[in-house]
């Protein structure tokens, strides 16, 4: 299958694909210090680094070529070609979309589909580092920082959901415009130490990647909500939260992303409620006046 430039997010495969990044994370405790450097280099530019030669991979990780081969072996591959073949299969899966993977959804039993959705939530929460969620909560709780959010064609719902919670608890929260011309106007307001939260799942959007690069160049902290394969925005991000998006449907599911958003909102509510009580009361009073 030829990989093409994605136009929109949300395309779905009809089977669970191997998640090599998850295998890398699970193998971390058994790795030597040098092998951990290789693992971190791979995850930092996943899967691009793994598609390079052994020599270039080793150069990026600042380890020796034999260390890369030992690392690959501990992931369960017989050699580097087999490892690269697995990465290529994942890259092909990322570019799939409903018209190429269409299936008769009438054959999916609803109880089984419900179980798959539950598994997606569990997998997403298990995939998310608790320390990263805690760091995100601290960033969002700091009202000295502006917060900008951007969803993609498919993930805008998730971005709006987080924005809904944030605007109840703090000031200076805004959604970036989906149109790039208006977004250019808004990005010039991003300042050093502001927080830019981006949502990008397959099929990854080039404008989201560019937005991350521009915001990073202005000194912002970049937070990415993505899928298990990881958008290229991860290369620019300070925090990456991954969710499981594949379910037995022609479409990817946002349920795992929303589960992480809900977790962040709950922890932030616990963190800010004593300080935000007067804001809640003012919002409720204003709502009452609008209904009179």
Would you say residue 106 lies in a domain? no
pLDDT value, residue 274: 84
- Bridge partner residues of 241 (DSSP): 225
pLDDT value, residue 11: 52
* pTM score: 0.73
Residues 149 and 220 in one domain: yes
What is the span of the domain harbouring residue 152?
115-288
pLDDT value, residue 4: 34
Instruction: Using alpha carbons, list the distances in angstroms from residue 260 to 10, 176, 193, 235.
Output: 17, 20, 23, 21
Would you say residue 1 lies in a domain? no
Residues 136 and 59 in one domain: no
Would you say residue 234 lies in a domain? yes
Residue at which a domain ends, from 34, 62, 94: 94
Would you say residue 2 lies in a domain? no
Residue at which a domain ends, from 30, 63, 94: 94
pLDDT value, residue 129: 82
Residues 74 and 176 in one domain: no
pLDDT value, residue 107: 63
Residues 6+ apart with CB under 8 A from 52: 60
Residues 127 and 236 in one domain: yes
pLDDT value, residue 221: 98
Instruction: Report mean pLDDT in 10-residue bins for the chain, 292 residues.
Output: 42 50 88 92 84 90 96 95 87 61 61 91 90 96 97 97 96 97 98 98 90 98 90 86 87 95 96 88 92 86
CATH number at residue 145: 3.40.50.10490
The domain total for the chain is: 2
Would you say residue 6 lies in a domain? no
Residues 172 and 247 in one domain: yes
Instruction: Using alpha carbons, list the distances in angstroms from residue 270 to 3, 34, 138, 258, 276.
Output: 44, 40, 12, 18, 10
pLDDT value, residue 24: 92
Residues 274 and 140 in one domain: yes
C-beta of residue 123 within 8 angstroms of C-beta of residue 207: no
Would you say residue 229 lies in a domain? yes
pLDDT value, residue 194: 98
CATH number at residue 28: 1.10.10.10
**In which region does residue 184 sit, left (phi positive, over 0), alpha (psi from -120 to 50) or beta (all else)?**
alpha
Would you say residue 237 lies in a domain? yes
Residues 125 and 268 in one domain: yes
Residue at which a domain ends, from 94, 129, 160: 94
Residues 55 and 134 in one domain: no
Question: Measured between alpha carbons, how far is 100 from 78 in angstroms, rounded to an integer?
Answer: 31
Instruction: Using alpha carbons, list the distances in angstroms from residue 231 to 151, 205, 227, 251.
Output: 13, 9, 7, 17
Residues 125 and 230 in one domain: yes
Residues 49 and 133 in one domain: no
Would you say residue 10 lies in a domain? no
Residues 69 and 194 in one domain: no
Residues 25 and 156 in one domain: no
């Amino acid at each position: 299958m030829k990989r093409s430039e994605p136009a929109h997010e949300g395309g779905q495969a009809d089977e669970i694909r191997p998640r090599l990044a998850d295998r890398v994370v699970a193998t971390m405790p058994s790795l030597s210090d040098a092998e951990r450097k290789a693992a971190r280099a791979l995850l930092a530019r996943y899967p691009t680094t793994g598609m390079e030669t052994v020599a270039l991979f080793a150069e990026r990780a600042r380890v020796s070529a034999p260390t890369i081969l030992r690392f690959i072996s501990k992931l369960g591959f017989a050699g580097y070609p087999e490892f690269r073949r697995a990465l290529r299969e994942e890259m092909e899966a990322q570019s799939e979309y409903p018209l190429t993977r269409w299936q008769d959804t009438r054959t999916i039993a609803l109880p089984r589909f419900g179980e798959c959705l539950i598994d997606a939530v569990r997998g997403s929460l298990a995939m998310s580092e608790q320390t990263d969620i805690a760091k995100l909560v601290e960033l969002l709780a700091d009202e000295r920082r502006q917060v900008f959010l951007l969803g993609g064609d498919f993930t805008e719902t998730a971005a709006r959901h987080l924005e809904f919670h944030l605007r109840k608890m703090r000031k200076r929260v805004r959604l970036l415009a989906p149109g790039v011309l208006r977004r250019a106007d808004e990005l010039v307001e991003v300042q050093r130490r502001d927080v830019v939260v981006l949502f990008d799942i397959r099929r990854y959007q080039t404008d989201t990647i560019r937005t991350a690069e521009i915001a990073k160049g202005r000194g912002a902290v970049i937070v990415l909500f993505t899928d298990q394969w990881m958008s290229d925005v991860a290369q620019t991000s300070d925090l990456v939260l991954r969710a499981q998006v594949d379910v037995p449907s022609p479409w990817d599911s946002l349920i795992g992303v929303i589960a992480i958003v809900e977790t962040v909102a709950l922890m932030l509510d616990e963190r800010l409620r004593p300080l935000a009580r007067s804001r809640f009361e003012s919002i409720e009073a204003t709502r009452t006046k609008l209904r009179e």
